[in-house]
Amino acid sequence: MVLKLLRRAKAKGKASLPEGMRVYAIGDIHGCDKQLKKLLKAIGKDLEGYDGESHLVFLGDYVDRGPDSKGVIERLVSKKLPGDKQHFLLGNHEEAMMNVMDGTSKRANDWLSFGGRQMMESYGVGKRELYEAGGDVGALLRDVMPKSHRKFFEKLELMKQIGGYLFVHAGIRPGVPLEEQEQSDLIWIRDRFLKSDRDHGVVVVHGHTITEKPQNKANRIGVDTGCYATGQLTAVRLQGSERAFITV
């Protein structure tokens, strides 16, 4: 485990949290339950002796690509998580999966090709069963997914603002008021957001785009370190105007 304290970002309207509050934002998990277990343990240890209010924000993309999507969701619905409050955001992989599951999308093969197959395997569905299901992968997924997991997905939020920080999966469209942001941007946007040095009025904390190391910018913080490919899962710890990263 690595805990690295960072210098304060030099930005106008520097973001901060209210006194007596600490927030941990966890990047894209993608079925990496082993690393999630380690990270939650590290956060729990980091909270020892802290008597303020603590929040955990999960930035979406819990499923697909990694080996144990089912285990990740089971851990998250267990309610045995550190912190006083937990917030769970929607990622583009959850949107794609739910669209297949409820029949909104007829492009199940697209979802399967970018990580859905690994998710189905974690729920006990093999290649033969997928082949025999034909185009109705959604019905198969509904059959194997516990109700508690479906309820978890149905309650995911698009964004969460705490103090001077805005938590979203992918980012926001620069120049558009927060209340007018579109779901497609919040969970899919990349270059237009990532390349912008605009002051958004809040510091945006996001995942979605993999970087070798977490990014600490004046207007955004990126914490997707590509766990399914690198084995490294990262969270940012926010307290007052300080930022720190925890990577396992």
Q: What is the pLDDT tens value at each position of the chain, 248 positions in all?
A: 555 544 343 333 479 999 999 999 999 999 999 999 999 999 999 999 999 999 999 999 999 999 999 999 999 999 789 999 999 999 999 999 999 998 876 778 889 999 999 999 999 998 888 877 766 888 899 999 999 999 999 999 999 999 999 999 999 999 999 999 999 999 999 999 999 999 999 999 999 999 999 999 999 999 999 999 999 999 999 999 999 999 99
Is 87 contained in some domain? yes
pLDDT at 234 (0 to 100): 97
Is 20 contained in some domain? yes
Helix, strand, coil abundance in the chain, percent, nearest 5: 35, 20, 45
pTM (2 d.p.): 0.93
CATH number of the domain enclosing 159 = 3.60.21.10
Phi-psi region of 233 (alpha: psi -120 to 50; beta: other; left: phi over 0): beta
pLDDT at 103 (0 to 100): 80
Using alpha carbons only, give the angle 41, 86, 72 rounded to the nearest 5 degrees: 55
Q: How far apart are CA 133 and CA 234, in angstroms?
A: 36
**What are the DSSP E strand ranges found in 81-182?**
85-88, 159-162, 165-168
Is 76 contained in some domain? yes
Is 108 contained in some domain? no
Total domains in the chain come to 1
Residue 176: both structure tokens together: 């558009």
Q: How far apart are CA 8 and CA 98, in angstroms?
A: 39
Is 35 contained in some domain? yes
Torsion, Cα of 10, 157, 175, 212 (10° steps) = 50
pLDDT at 2 (0 to 100): 53
pLDDT at 12 (0 to 100): 37
pLDDT at 135 (0 to 100): 65
Is 53 contained in some domain? yes
Helix (H, G, I), strand (E, B) or coil at 121: helix
Burial of 144: CB neighbours in 10 Å, binned 0-12, 13-18, 19+ = middle
Is 144 contained in some domain? no
Is 127 contained in some domain? no
Q: How far is CA 24 from the centre of its chain?
A: 12
Q: How far apart are CA 213 and CA 209, in angstroms?
A: 11
Look up tokens 């997924």; give the residue: 141
Residue 138: both structure tokens together: 């959604």
177 Cβ contact partners less than 8 Å away, ≥ 6 residues apart: none
* Full domain range(s) for residue 161: 2-92+155-247
Residues in the chain: 248
Q: How far apart are CA 138 and CA 105, in angstroms?
A: 9
